[in-house]
Structure 1
Amino acid sequence: MPSSTWNLPHIARGAVLEVAGIEESVAAASPLLGKTVAVVHAAWHSCGSYQVNAAQLTAYKALGARVISIAMMDDLSPPAPKGGRWPGYLAASKDLPADRRFFTATSHRSLVSSGLLREGWLPLIHGDQARWLIEIAKRVPVPQGLETERIDLIHANHYFTLPLALRLGGERNIPVILETQDIQARQYALRNRGGFFLRPYASYDQMLALELGWTARADLCVHLNEEEFLEFGRLLPQARHALVYPATEPAPLSRGRDIVIVASDNYGNYLSLRWFLEEVLPLAGDVELAIYGNIDKGVKNRDAALYEAHKALFMGRVDDIGAVYAATGCILLPTTEGHGLSIKAVEALSSGALLIATPQAFRGMGVDPGSLSNVILRQDAAGFAQALLDIRARLLSGALQPPGADSDTKRLYDRAFSPQAYAKALARCAVPLVAEAASASTPP
């Protein structure tokens, strides 16, 4: 396929460029009717990536496609459904909107029998998480029953699923979209700061080179935020690139007085929450708030003393997070670390709640958060704490109400991050690829 760069809707500039003649209204025409799309993804749940995967399946269904999910375990594991992390994943992903689901994992026996010990595990103990994941994906078996599927498009997530995705697509000339979900080497370098590895340590450049080598093999690279789109375009100028902001299902509109933080467990979120608990909260007096999401496990595992000191604040993962948003008056986004667009920040936008946030919470969105009237931006701990005290007093007195549907953040969400906006953007990527593949396979 020819190399090109595709520009998609960019909310900062307000520009919408057509891609291969596909119009904005294309989603309404079910352009993928009769096609089957396979979404290949890590077997993760209760995190932003899981929500992105669910949104992909929903969007392709809205475009008329039949959708299948192929979940790959990112560690050595027994086969699904029993053993390892599979029971937890299956229980938490029951609502994944796929027409058919497949699962695959690399067995522990592969560590010796297939050379994984030498090619994957030895680099891993030096911090090379990029190499480890690629070597695992090279060895995962194609799920039984998948050979009966006639797949027209593969949508892979994260570069490390590409060994599996390309194996599925190669023999049948199926086009492959890769949704990068940030430069993963950055995440590994950040995670390695809190890990225990042997010298010589794997370098960021070393892990990035491997990631880019695999990323370049996709027919189209889709990026979830502006920063990522520009960076990958610079690093891989020969590849096709598209900027497609992710979708999340809208949270219920905020109509209460609660103050909350909602966060999943990753190292960037842990560092951000640690900053809030250690530097902001002591300046905020007796302000009542609650912390939702499985970040509680991350804090407990990394800093047991910090967790115990604030144990009463942690509510953990809840089944009905919508009820939490509905009872909320103010959402805190104390982001100090991390890369890529935050799905939890997008959820917060959709709720129409008052937001107290650091500027970093809006990374990659291509928007000036200072222009959003229901957002209070604070960079330092003292300023964040004072804003928290002020908002809490006004909520309790009834002098302040969440703006809800009339808020700037809800309008931003509807324009750029809603399922409808996502389906339109995804159509402009997927339809030309499927058409090109069909044309190439048609005899002259």
Structure 2
Amino acid sequence: MFNLLRLLVAMGHSVDVLATSGRDTAQQRRLTAIGVGCIIPEDSGGPARWFLRWGDRYAAVIVSRYHLANQWFPLIRHVRPDAFKVLDTVDLHHVRELREAELRGSRLMRLAARATRRRELNAVRAADVTWVVSEVERRMLATTAPDARVEVISNVHDLPSRAPRPGSGAHLVFVGGAQHPPNADGVSWLLTDILPRILHRLPHCRLHLVGQGLADCAGAGDSASHPNVVFHGRIEDLGELFASCHVGLAPLRFGAGVKGKINHYMAFGLPTVATPSAVEGMHLEDGRDVIVASDAATFADAVVRLLDDSVLWSDLSLAGQENVRRHFSMESAAPGLRSTFEHCGRALAH
């Protein structure tokens, strides 16, 4: 989203971010530095009351995630009926929930996913434009909400200027917070079924887990319980860690949308091993851009192969960066943004 805001400002829009909870002064400084206004309405009765007073100044409003859209779209219509409403889905939540229900074989989770689907499609129908992150999800909505206007606005990443290179050692990395169910499940699977197979062949291999709450996955506890695992918590700038690692991991057994972790690995030239679920909608070809593995044994074999084969490592490193440049760069996102706001005024709120 930060990069999308940068693009909107570069296109000449005046953009404000309205925080619905919390205060992050570091993020405020980052946003201010790129010309984005930050609204923290602590002294005016909260964000809804602030918007009631000042919201009519905005020609368009972008709301991230369907549950916030269902809360905010009625308020936006009340304050400024002609405001252009954009739903940024981030991913299609009901698709992710249904896939988890299928993995668990849970009837209750299937019922919950269907309820999410109803609410999410209501938000899609109420929006003037809905953003999805892949053509796969656009096709899904073409079936379930055929009258909706949908634009593909995917993840946006900067490409580091330095050339990637394979280093010495065997360092693996996974990025993602445990509060997101696919990440928690993926790390549990990684620690219990995949990593032991890798360590059996490469006992000095080290796994870096980056994200809040990952130490609790699968009873991981702390580094003393897993001497080959380093728990980092959240890291704002991953560049230094990625420069010391050799393979990015995406062992996700369910999910939706496109995976920012894979984009992030590839932008830094890290070859990636991923599941079929993790690469959905990402324009990635197995063996050319990424190695795709469906089960624990195949996943472990792919990691070991990448660590042993410097030619394959370099080929995937370069192909991954080119994939990000073609499909997930600032330049690739610009056409969809221009199409979204071509008939709007200059003032935007998010």
Task: Give the TM-score band, short-chain normalised.
Answer: 0.7 to 0.9
Count of residue pairs the alignment pairs up: 326
* Deviation string, structure 1 residues 130-162 (Cα, Å, up to 9, x no partner): xxxxxxxxx952337961873222122111222
Q: Residue type of the partner of 2:285?
A: P
Query: Do residues 239 (structure 1) and 176 (structure 2) align?
Result: no
Q: Does 1:65 align with 2:2?
A: no
Instruction: Look up the SS of the partner of 1:335 in the other structure.
Output: coil
1:306-355 deviation line (CA, Å, top 9, x unaligned): 65633742222223211122333322222222222111111122222222
Give the deviation of 1:387 after TM superposition: 2.4
> Does 2:307 correspond to 1:392?
yes
User: What corresponds to 2:235 in structure 1?
Assistant: 318
Q: Give the deviation of 1:420 after TM superposition.
A: 1.7
TM-score by length of 1: 0.64
Alignment pair present for 1:430 and 2:345: no
Residue equivalent to 2:39: 102
Please say if residues 62 and 86 of structure 2, whose CA atoms lie closer than 8 Å, have aligned partners that are also in contact.
Answer: yes
Please name the residue that 1:118 is paired with.
Answer: none
Question: Is 2:54 the counterpart of 1:147?
Answer: yes
Q: Secondary structure at the match of 1:379?
A: coil
2:94 corresponds to: 185
Q: Deviations over 1:3-53 (max 9, x none)?
A: xxxxxxxxxxxxxxxxxxxxxxxxxxxxxxxxxxxxxxxxxxxxxxxxxx2
Q: Which moved more, 1:183-192 or 1:258-267?
A: 183-192
Residue correspondence of structure 1 range 73-222 to structure 2 within 5 A: 73=21, 86-87=22-23, 89-91=24-26, 94-96=29-31, 97=34, 99-103=36-40, 141-143=48-50, 147=54, 150-162=57-69, 163-168=71-76, 170-172=78-80, 173-187=82-96, 203-222=112-131
Conserved 8 A contact 1:335-1:358: yes
Distance 2:73 2:35 in 1: 17
Whole-angstrom CA distance in 1 between matches of 2:273 and 2:159: 19
Change (3 A) 1:230 1:200: closer
Asked whether the equivalents of residues 287 and 392 of structure 1 are also in contact (C-alpha less than 8 Å), the reply is no
Question: 5+ unaligned residues in a row in structure 1: which ranges?
Answer: 1-52, 74-85, 111-138, 194-198, 436-444
2:266 alignment partner in structure 1: 349
Contact 1:253 1:326 in 2 (8 A): no
TM-aligned CA deviation for residue 282 of structure 1: 0.9
* Cα contact 2:3–2:156 (8 A) shared by 1: yes
1:333 to 250, 257, 264: 250
Q: Does 1:288 align with 2:205?
A: yes
1:54 to 2:2 alignment: yes
Secondary structure of the 1:72 match is coil
Q: Is residue 168 of structure 2 the alignment partner of residue 264 of structure 1?
A: no
> Which consecutive unaligned segments of at least 5 residues does structure 2 have?
103-107
- Give the distance between the partners of 2:338 and 2:49, measured in 1 at CA: 27
Question: 2:19 touches 2:47 (CA, 8 Å); kept in 1?
Answer: no
Aligned residues of 2:249 and 2:272 also touching (Cα < 8 A): yes
> Distance between the aligned counterparts of 2:51 and 2:156, measured in 1?
31
How many angstroms apart in 2 are the aligned matches of 1:276 and 1:328? 17
Q: For residue 190 of structure 2, what is the aligned residue in structure 1?
A: 276
The CA deviation string for residues 350-376 of structure 1, in whole angstroms up to 9 with x for no partner, is 2222222222221122x2422x63522
Q: 1:394 to 1:204 in 2, by over 3 A?
A: closer
CA distance in 2, matches of 1:322, 1:281: 24
Separation in 2 of the partners of 1:268 and 1:403?
28
Task: Give the C-alpha shift of residue 57 in structure 1.
Answer: 0.8
SS at match of 1:332: strand
Q: Distance in 2 between matches of 1:145 and 1:213?
A: 23
Question: Quick check: 1:222–1:241 contact (8 Å CA) kept in 2?
Answer: yes
Q: 1:98 to 1:344 in 2, by over 3 A?
A: farther
Q: CA deviation at 1:54?
A: 1.0
| RMSD of equivalent CA atoms | 3.4
Aligned partners of 2:302, 2:5: CA distance in 1, in Å?
A: 39
Change (3 A) 1:146 1:413: farther
Shift in CA distance, 165/323, structure 1 to aligned 2, threshold 3 Å: farther
Cα distance in 2 for residues equivalent to 1:181 and 1:314: 27
C-alpha distance in structure 2 between counterparts of 1:432 and 1:343, whole Å = 30
Amino acid at match of 2:257: G
Task: State the match for 2:292 in structure 1.
Answer: 377
| TM-aligned CA distance change 1:93 to 1:304, over 3 Å | farther
C-alpha distance in structure 1 between counterparts of 2:20 and 2:285, whole Å: 36
Alpha-carbon shift at residue 253 of structure 1 (Å): 4.6
The letter of the residue matching 2:61 is I
| TM-score (norm: length of structure 2) | 0.80
The one-letter code matched in structure 2 to 1:361 is A
